Amino acid sequence: MPAQTSHKPPQRGLRADARENRDRILRAAREAFATQGIDVPVAAIARRAGVGVATLYRRFPTRDALVTEAFAEQLGHCVSVLDEGLADPDPWRGFCTVVERVCLMQAADRGFTQAFLTEFPDQADFARERSRAEEGLALLIRRAKEAGALRQDFEPGDVTLLLLANCGVTSGAGEEAATASRRLAAYLLHAFRADAAAPLPRPARLGLERIHA
Amino acid sequence: MPAQTSHKPPQRGLRADARENRDRILRAAREAFATQGIDVPVAAIARRAGVGVATLYRRFPTRDALVTEAFAEQLGHCVSVLDEGLADPDPWRGFCTVVERVCLMQAADRGFTQAFLTEFPDQADFARERSRAEEGLALLIRRAKEAGALRQDFEPGDVTLLLLANCGVTSGAGEEAATASRRLAAYLLHAFRADAAAPLPRPARLGLERIHA
DNA sequence: GGGTAAACGGACGCCCCTCTCCGTTTGAGC
DNA sequence: GCTCAAACGGAGAGGGGCGTCCGTTTACCC
């Protein structure tokens, strides 16, 4: 079989106007989701993009498909943030950076946050990205522990915990979202430090996939 | 004027069957909200209560009125938890108890949590309870600081921060909600301790009323 | 037990959202 | 420039939730 050309198949072979419209729809969707939340009617997105609803549905057969595609970019961004964190010679600093950046991404995009909280289209693409993210994260955590910076009883599910917590904060805090998110991250990162160790209750069994349960 | 007899006016003077039905509706609503979330259709609540929709709407003229009334009990419970915390001779322990208990209440009731996160009917009753809660909380915080247990740069908005964070966790963690909530509370309470002090970013301006912005 | 106002319940109107159908327009190759 | 498949867009079908109307039933009082 031919090497699968990235995960954006339906771009090639489209007529010029169709491709243009497809881009406008995606841009409009991202804007709408970010500002109005993930529940904006499809019609509103179409209007914002300057196309008819039928055009939108021709490219994205269902609402979920559009949501998925619209957030693929953000998801990719998350992964690259993680890569940067892994590249940092100081694993603790790398870990902190990842957490802070992702939290701020959530704070800046209401739709992205909601997508985390509510059930989400579990497309195949996402599963792949997610498992990559899980591996990278586990590696970063292991390194940070070995460096003696991250507490020993920390575990990967605690990252999910933090992300969910941040979802709540960013959904609820309105315009203060970014400030609140920063403060939450600071508090939690502080509690995660090894030198802050004090007994913890047993961990929740939260994988990254649990997020969309 | 006659002393206002608590804040449950429309109980007296109802016909026996009507009062019975009213209670069943409230019970059904609380169950439905707790298990299915705050978005259950009114019709489902009516069915569960064994009454027609019209009967429901006769007692609770709008959906929001029903939600408000259904959660009044929980809100009262929160306040009494706070009172208990205030009664503890050790203000830090009192503070921890309040936080942990309220977090677990949220974890146990999906609807209550959602009501925190999403916009909420700002009924007059609630404003009163809320300001009482704010005062009590501020007092508890002041005492805990004076006792040297709570960090000096902690501020009331951080309680809102914690509650919102817990909302996110409990909405997202499914059956692990209680476990996750406990762990989050432990982490944050730990970070709130005075002996854990490290510089924080500037606080978010979150009052309790901000929760429903 | 009989009269009456209160309470009941289901059917219905209204609105909004998702997705489809179909007649019209347009880009691309010759 | 001509042809035609590809793309377009608006109108509308289908479904669901909120709140109301109105004919029927029932508790309470005498």
**Chain D bases near protein Cβ (<7 Å):** 6-12, 16-22, 26-28
What are the 10-residue block averages of pLDDT along chain B, 213 residues in total? 42 88 97 94 97 97 93 89 96 97 94 77 66 91 96 90 92 86 94 78 61 43
- What pLDDT was estimated at residue A5? 35
Domain ranges of chain B: 16-61, 71-212
Distance (Å, rounded) from C-alpha B38 to C-alpha B70? 11
- Residue A156 contacts B where some CB pair is shorter than 8 Å: no
- Identify the pLDDT of residue B207: 57
Interface check for A174 against chain B (CB to CB < 8 A): the answer is yes
Identify the pLDDT of residue A12.
Answer: 72
Which of B159, B103, B169, B34 has its CA nearest to residue A171? B169
Cβ-count burial of B134 within 10 angstroms (0-12 exposed, 13-18 middle, 19+ buried)? middle
- Cβ A204–B166 below 8 Å, yes or no? no
CATH 1.10.357 fits A68-212, yes or no: yes
Q: Which of A1-10, A26-35, A49-58, B122-131 has the lowest mean pLDDT?
A: A1-10
Q: Would you place residue A1 in the very low, low, confident or very high pLDDT band (cuts 50, 70, 90)?
A: very low
Q: What is the pLDDT of residue A2?
A: 41
Secondary structure letter of residue A61 according to DSSP:
S
Among protein residues, the one whose C-alpha sits closest to the C1' atom of C27 is: A15
Burial label for B5, CB within 10 Å (0-12, 13-18, 19+), is exposed
Measure, in angstroms, how far nucleotide D4 C1' is from residue A15 CA: 14
**Which CATH topology does B16-61 take?**
Arc Repressor Mutant, subunit A (1.10.10)
% chain A with pLDDT above 70: 83
What pLDDT does A134 receive? 87
Neighbours of A29 (CB within 10 A): 26
Task: Name the architecture of domain B71-212.
Answer: Orthogonal Bundle (1.10)
User: What average pLDDT does the segment A38-53 reach?
Assistant: 96
